[in-house]
Amino acid sequence: MQAASAAEPARLYYFHGRGRAEQSRWVLAAAEVPFVNMCLSTSAEFAALKRQGKLIFGQVPLLELDGLRLVQSQAILRHVARTRNIAGADEREQALADQLAEACSDFRSALLGLPFNGNTQACASAVQRYAPIFESLLSESRQWVAAGQGMTYADALLAEAVTGYSELFGDAWLSELPRLKAHRDRVCALPGVAAYLSSPLRFPFPAGKVAEKYVQNVSTVLS
Amino acid sequence: MQAASAAEPARLYYFHGRGRAEQSRWVLAAAEVPFVNMCLSTSAEFAALKRQGKLIFGQVPLLELDGLRLVQSQAILRHVARTRNIAGADEREQALADQLAEACSDFRSALLGLPFNGNTQACASAVQRYAPIFESLLSESRQWVAAGQGMTYADALLAEAVTGYSELFGDAWLSELPRLKAHRDRVCALPGVAAYLSSPLRFPFPAGKVAEKYVQNVSTVLS
C-alpha cells in the first residue's frame, strides 16, 4: 500500500470521532490542506495497519501526507505547520507558537477525556485556569496569539479548544473574555476552517449518545 | 530583570532534580550550549518568578536563552534543536525526529513519575513496549535514530531515556538490544553530553533518599 501522493488528499487514520486527531484536522483546515478521514471500525482494520508497518508505535492518529507516514498527534500538526508556513515567521515566533501550542494541548486535555470520564468539572477548571491567560495575550494590536502579523497553528489550536468548551458550556463563559471570543470567531471565519466546520469531516461534540457511540468505537477497535 | 544575553550561559529554572527539565539538559548538552541550573528551593522564589511575569502558565521549567524566556518543556527542547541545527536536515528528517522525540517522551514518562509513585512496574512495562521498537529503527548503516547522516535531538532524548532505565535496572535489559546499547554509548560519548554527565549539572538518579528529598523540594516550592 502506497502513502498518499501529493495529488491526493491527505489521509487521516483515526477512530470515528475527534479525540487526538481533532487538533490536526483544525491545522490542516487552517492551512487549507485537503484531507479525508479514514475511520477505523474494527480491530481487524487496526491490526491490518499495524501489520503493514504503518504505525511505528502501534497508535493512531496516522496522517499520510507529502509521501510521508506521520504518527504522534503533536508531531503531525507541527509537520503541517512547518511545511505550510504557519509555524511562525522567525525563531522567536516559532518558539512562542510552539509553547502556546503546548499550552493549548494542556488546555484541551480535559475535553479529550470527557467522553470517557464525563468529568465536566475538569473542563470547568481548565477554562478557569487557561482562558484568562490566553485573553491577556491578545489585544487590539495583537489579533493572533503568537505573531503580530499573521496566523500560526497556535491560533488554530486555541480556537479549537475554545470552540470545544463553548459546545459544552455555551458561550456565556466568554462574555468576560471579549478578545478570546473575537479570536475564536476570527479563526472560525478563515476560509479553510469555515469550510471544515460545515463539512461532514467535522465530528459532532462527544456528549450523550455521541460520546457513548465513540467510546464503544474506540473500545471495539482496541479490543 | 533581564533575560540572559547571548554572552551568558543559558539559565534553566527548575526544581533540584531531573524531572521535566532533564530532556532539555541533554539537548542543551548535545548541542554544546552552556547552561546553569537555577534551582528553586522555596515557594517565595517560585512566587517571585511568577510575579516577574516570567512564567506565562505558572509552571517550570523556564529556559532563558537567546534573549528569550521559554516555557513548556517540549517547546524548550525544540527551540534548542531548531536553532542549533539538530532538528533534522530537511522536512522529512524533521518530521521523523519530531515523532521519535514525542515517542521518547512517552517512553520516559514512567521515569518521570517514579520518585512520586515508586512504580517500577510501569518502568518495566515502558521498557518492554518501547525498547524493541527503537532497537528496530537502528542498524549498522543507521547509527542515528532519525537521520542517516547525523545526530538529531531525538538521539539525545532516546539516550536520556535509556540511560535512566539503566540506572534503575542496570544494563542487563540491554543485552538483547545491542544497537540500542551502542546508540546510548555513542550519544553519551558526544563531547557535550560526556561533559554534562560528569559535571555537577547532572542530578543523581531519583531513588531512595534522593527521591525523598526531591519530592520534598517540589512539594515545598509548590506549597
**pLDDT in the model for residue A1:** 39
Cross-chain Cβ contact A95/B75 below 8 Å:
yes
CATH top class, domain A10-84+204-222: alpha beta
A72 in contact with B at a CB cutoff of 8 Å?
Answer: yes
Which residue has cell 496569539? A145
**pLDDT in the model for residue A14:** 98
Question: What is the CATH code of the structural domain delimited by B91-190?
Answer: 1.20.1050.10
A82 within 8 A of B90, measured Cβ to Cβ: no
> DSSP for chain A?
-PPPPTTSPEEEEE-SSSGGGHHHHHHHHHTT--EEEEE--SHHHHHHHHHTT--TTS-S-EEEETTEEEESHHHHHHHHHHHTT-S-SSHHHHHHHHHHHHHHHHHHHHHHHHHHH--HHHHHHHHHHHHHHHHHH-BTTB-SSS-SSS--HHHHHHHHHHHHHHHHH-SGGGTT-HHHHHHHHHHHTSHHHHHHHTSTTSPPP--HHHHHHHHHHHHHHH-
**pLDDT in the model for residue B140:** 83
B90 in contact with A at a CB cutoff of 8 Å?
Answer: no
A193 within 8 A of A26, measured Cβ to Cβ: yes
A69 within 8 A of A62, measured Cβ to Cβ: yes
Cross-chain Cβ contact B99/A66 below 8 Å:
no
What's chain B's length in residues?
223
Distance CA A158, CA B164 (A): 35
Distance CA A76, CA A56 (A): 14
Can you list the residues of chain A whose pLDDT is less than 50? Answer: 1-2, 4
In the CATH hierarchy, which fold is given to the domain comprising B10-84+196-222? Answer: Glutaredoxin (3.40.30)
The 10s digit of each residue's pLDDT in B37-83 is 999 999 999 999 999 999 999 999 999 999 999 999 999 999 999 99
- For residue A219, the distance in angstroms to the closest alpha carbon of chain B comes to 20
**pLDDT in the model for residue A6:** 53
**pLDDT in the model for residue A2:** 45
Give yes or no for residue B3 having a pLDDT over 60: no
β pairing state of B10-14 and B35-39: parallel
What distances in angstroms separate CA B148 from CA B85, B92, B151, one per listed residue? 15, 12, 8
Sequence-separated (6 or more) residues with CB below 8 Å from residue B196: B25, B26, B28, B29, B202
- Find the closest chain A residue to B105 by CA distance: A72
- B residues 103-132 lying closer than 8 A (beta carbon) to A: 103, 106, 130
Q: How confident is the model at residue B141 (pLDDT cuts 50, 70, 90)?
A: confident
Distance CA B26, CA B158 (A): 10
Instruction: List residues bridging with A21 in a β-sheet.
Output: none
A137 contacts in chain B (CB < 8 Å): 56
Distance CA A45, CA B112 (A): 34
Cross-chain Cβ contact B75/A101 below 8 Å:
yes
Average pLDDT for residues B202-217, to the nearest whole number? 97
Give yes or no for residue B213 having a pLDDT over 60: yes
Give yes or no for residue B206 having a pLDDT over 90: yes
Distance CA A210, CA A215 (A): 9
DSSP state at residue B172: G
Q: How confident is the model at residue B181 (pLDDT cuts 50, 70, 90)?
A: very high
A86 within 8 A of A144, measured Cβ to Cβ: no
Distance CA A158, CA A105 (A): 9
In the CATH scheme, what architecture does the domain A91-195 have?
A: Up-down Bundle (1.20)
- Find the closest chain A residue to B53 by CA distance: A133
- For residue A107, the distance in angstroms to the closest alpha carbon of chain B comes to 11
Domain residue spans of chain B: 10-84+196-222, 91-190
Strand arrangement, sheet containing A35-39: A35-39, A10-14, A62-65, A68-71
Tell me phi and psi for residue A84, to 5 degrees: -110, 15
Nearest to A78 by CA among B22, B96, B84: B96
DSSP state at residue B223: -
**pLDDT in the model for residue B6:** 53
| Cell matching residue A208 | 450523550
Average pLDDT for residues B5-18, to the nearest whole number? 89
